[in-house]
Structure 1
């Protein structure tokens, strides 16, 4: 082969190699559509979603980017699994309380007393939704999604409007918003009438008087402007919590390179810690702000009364687990691993 032919052959080889690298790099770059039902003003958006996206972009060196759709732009919280399975979204805020018919075991975080420290609860739940673990195998795997980030909104408390509370027994007969599932069972145990509704519907319902109060995390009251429609709270009784995940569809996950998969996993772990650290810092300040700035009067229960209520509410754990166990779901195991 003469020198000219050798040179041309080498050029072709280099060009083919360069083209193959360019194609690989192009395939490595991906934009993920992220559906979130929470508003941009929510602390979970700031300390969770935005922290997650920023870290994923950083760890992937720009290969991963996001189209972010907050505030129900792509759909409500109850539609999150449909958005993922249909391909409308690649990543979505999947809240088990809004999908209790699909993710009943994941409602364990809503049980009374289950969340006292946000990071402890978030880390335990995160472990349970990893491949091979109880919640992933029993629920998320069957829905063709995998959680990358998990968080709770801190301990939920009882808050009311235009009601005279001197004890939790005074909520008997009141219409209280819960997220459904286990939290509704807690309301029933306390004698209240649980009303399940999306977060965006709560303020108008309180203002119209169709709700008497809420089970809600104190640090997110202002995010939803609920401080204008509430006047009393019980800050030292934890009646459950609300849990969220940022989950990716298997369809989207399987298209990612191993490097991009690893970047998303690490970004989720970063956001887990970032979010729960904030929640743990914020609640004490929230109690003060709600009282001083907004006139929401705190009712602190004496320790002996608290102890009796907590003991009584452990019955909710058993009542919640029993029907799930009958369906062949490992509810008692999940409760034990979360406690």
Structure 2
């Protein structure tokens, strides 16, 4: 349904999503900020894309898919779907903090390290009737299809071992934004916002000294070549992404089209979380094979836990100070984590 990228053209896009009087198929456009090989893409998105490409004709749909940021940057995705420049796209709260600050609850440290538990908990809050749906997705004219959560953020550095949070004091660290900025600030480091794809060059030039990130993203970007140390077990948060559809697009679909898309989203939700859990564990092994020194911080667990709680508490205070129900969101998310604890995959 999208042929251009301007907000002014959005009404044209939305109108084209419904089959016209000439019997033409509705067009469904999906934009993606992840590559097909990234665990977020390989585990979930590609399954949906392949199925829609095969099934679209019989569903009365014309489906187009644009990967690897072809339609825009990660920070553009919410606006693209809201305005109709794309019908479906991944939206990461870390990159759209002004539009979805409450949704960053899933990125905060110390709340969980299993992708399935975290992703399903977030999806509960983002589904219709959930607090994140009512507070953020609905006002943006978005509907959640499936949610991914990259687990187990660690402190990774080029030239220093990190065992306790204080070891990062005075360093310059790359951060994705949102909740991760709070982690960097809390350890006394200076944060530099940049996409992970730019980190390799930034490390080699000495612009930054490390990052807070998940092992999932290290070897795929070749970062094991420049990041020689990593904590293991710091649990510094997650990176959550909701794959959302424009609500007007959803309403224009037939009941059968919605049923199929919902089933594909459910399958993607499960396969993605399983894939991310598996990738997180495997990447630690790969990093060690590439001579990255993994520093087990289990003996310093109390110091990392002491870091996490104040970050979460300040997140609540800061958002409530501007009239957002962060405390209610936090309580709802913690309950959802408990409700979905049986989905845990890691450690089995």
Question: Per the shorter chain, which TM-score range?
Answer: 0.7 to 0.9
Q: Offset at 1:200?
A: 2.6
* Equivalent position of 1:313 in the other structure: 308
CA distance in 1, matches of 2:204, 2:246: 38
Q: Offset at 1:65?
A: 5.0
State the SS of the aligned residue for 1:219.
helix
Deviations along 1:152-172, one digit per CA (max 9) or x if unpaired, are 111111111122434332111
Q: TM-score, normalised by structure 2?
A: 0.84
Work out which of the residue numbers 33, 49, 56 in structure 2 matches 1:37.
33
1:273 aligns with 2:270: yes
- In the TM superposition, 1:221-300 aligns within 5 A as 221-292=218-289, 294-300=290-296
Q: Offset at 1:199?
A: 2.7
CA distance in 2, matches of 1:115, 1:25: 52
State the SS of the aligned residue for 1:66.
strand
CA RMSD across the alignment:
2.1
> Are the aligned partners of 2:144 and 2:242 in contact in 1 as well (CA < 8 Å)?
yes
CA distance in 1, matches of 2:20, 2:297: 64
- In the TM superposition, 1:128-277 aligns within 5 A as 128-277=125-274
> Are the aligned partners of 2:39 and 2:279 in contact in 1 as well (CA < 8 Å)?
no
1:102 aligns with 2:64: no
Q: Which moved more, 1:323-332 or 1:234-243?
A: 323-332
* Equivalent position of 1:47 in the other structure: 43
Gaps of 5+ in 1: 1-21
> Are the aligned partners of 1:34 and 1:89 in contact in 2 as well (CA < 8 Å)?
yes
Larger radius of gyration: 1
Q: Which moved more, 1:43-52 or 1:130-139?
A: 43-52
1:118 aligns with 2:115: yes
CA distance in 1, matches of 2:220, 2:32: 15
Q: Offset at 1:59?
A: 7.2
Q: TM-score, normalised by structure 1?
A: 0.87
Gaps of 5+ in 2: 1-18, 335-348
1:322 aligns with 2:307: no
State the SS of the aligned residue for 1:107.
helix
Q: Offset at 1:307?
A: 2.0
CA distance in 2, matches of 1:336, 1:273: 24
Q: Offset at 1:114?
A: 2.1
Q: Offset at 1:54?
A: 3.4
Work out which of the residue numbers 310, 321, 337 in structure 1 matches 2:332.
337
Deviations along 1:266-313, one digit per CA (max 9) or x if unpaired, are 211110100111122232221111011x2110111143x212320332
Total equivalences in the alignment: 315
> Are the aligned partners of 2:164 and 2:303 in contact in 1 as well (CA < 8 Å)?
no
Work out which of the residue numbers 21, 39, 63 in structure 2 matches 1:66.
63
Change (3 A) 1:146 1:175: same
